[in-house]
Structure formats: structure tokens, C-alpha cells
Structure 1
Amino acid sequence: MTIAPAKLSDPTVRAAVTAINAGDRKAFVDLLAPDATMSDDGSERDLQDWIDREIFTVHGHMEVRSESDGGRALIADYRNETWGEMRTAWKFTVEGGRISHFATGQA
């Protein structure tokens, strides 16, 4: 069973997942704090390079399986044209309605 993006609890995370699934890079970037950071499998990455390489140029898509921490922690089946589909964990730090950090990795 999946959770439709419109049903996600946290409005900022809801908007982020919606932007990812729509391939809307601008909408996603607009949700980021000016100094936002991210990590993948525990390693800090260059955020702009990573979102282009792992999401927007390769048609990334999330099917959320579960949420916790008020909707800021997700388990999702994530797919893109580079890696195919895998079960992933996403943890968003949201401050003032903007994402200041997100971490992702295999679940």
C-alpha cells in the first residue's frame, strides 16, 4: 500500500514529494533553505549536483510506503532511470517551512 503525496502529513515534505514526482526542479529548489544540505547513505553530497543527477535528469519518482516523525521521515520505493527501483529512507529537517537538510539512503 502506498500513501498518496497529497495525504502526507508535513506540508513541506508533501510539496517536495509532489515536486519530485512531477519532475518540477524549480518547485523543489524553492522549498530549500538557502544553505540547505543533504546526505546519501551517510555521506554529505553536493545538493544541486545530486538532485540533478539522482532526481531531475533521470525522472526520479517516489511511492511512499510509510511516514513517521510527523511526516518528516519516509520509507519509499524510489526509482530513476539510472538505478531502477529500490526501497529508500528519507529524513527531512524542516525549519520555517523550508528544507534545511535531507538524508536519504537504502532502507
Structure 2
Amino acid sequence: MIPSSQLSDPAVRAFVAAVNAGDQNAFRAVLTEGATMSDDGSDRDVAQWAEKEIFASDGHMDIETEADGGRALVVNYRNDTWGEMRTKWRFTVTGDGRISRFETGQA
């Protein structure tokens, strides 16, 4: 496992830290206004998805691998709703170091 503090991309590192801490303010701060996301190929509303899949269900990311400068992860993701699953994550990071889009799905 890769400690989140050692992830290469600062925005992705902040995203993972916010998820693992259950910190909604930090999560929102790392995203651009109007950020988008998809889950298993279907676009979702970021706020609704994050509330259900992360914050209300105690979501947690354990990083297996990173690629593409830290913007592509393979993660053991767990929450109280679904249990643990192996997932992939890809992040689009803007020039100001915030995430404008993330995509997740089963790995």
C-alpha cells in the first residue's frame, strides 16, 4: 500500500486525505467549481454521490498503485454500504492544482 501522504500529485493527495478523514470541506476545496465525475462509466452528481458513497457511509481509500504522475490510482475502496472493492480512479487536474473531473469504477 502507498501512504496517501506519499502520492505524487498534490491535488490527488489532498482528495484522498479528505476522503479518508471524512472532511467534506477539504473535499470540496480540492474540486473546481462545476467539477464532474463518473462511477462505472455513468456521470453522477458529485455532491450527491460523495454524500452517499463517501461521507454518509464512512468511505476509505487504501492506495495499491499510482500511475500517470499520480493521476491514476488503483485503490482498495471500502464503505459501510458496499464493503471493500478494488477500484480504479482517474483524475483531471487543472493548472491551478484542483480537480475538475474524477472517474472511478471497479478495477
For structure 2, the 5+ residue unaligned runs are: none
**Structure-1 separation of matches of 2:24 and 2:56:** 9
Length-normalised TM-score, structure 2: 0.98
For structure 1, the 5+ residue unaligned runs are: none
Deviations 1:59-83 (A, max 9, x none): 0000000000000000000000000
Of all paired residues, the percent bearing the same amino acid is: 60
**Structure-2 separation of matches of 1:17 and 1:47:** 15
Give 2:78's aligned amino acid. R
Q: Tell me if 1:21 matches 2:20.
A: yes
Partner of 1:99: 99
Partner of 2:84: 85
Give 2:37's aligned amino acid. M
Give 1:102's aligned amino acid. F
Partner of 1:32: 31
* Structure 1 residue runs of 4 or more that deviate by more than 4 Å after TM superposition: none
Aligned ranges 1:64-83 → 2 under 5 Å:
64-83=63-82
**Structure-2 separation of matches of 1:26 and 1:81:** 21
Q: Superposition RMSD on alpha carbons, in Å?
A: 0.4
Partner of 1:5: 4
Q: Offset of 1:35 from its aligned partner?
A: 1.2
Count, aligned residues? 106
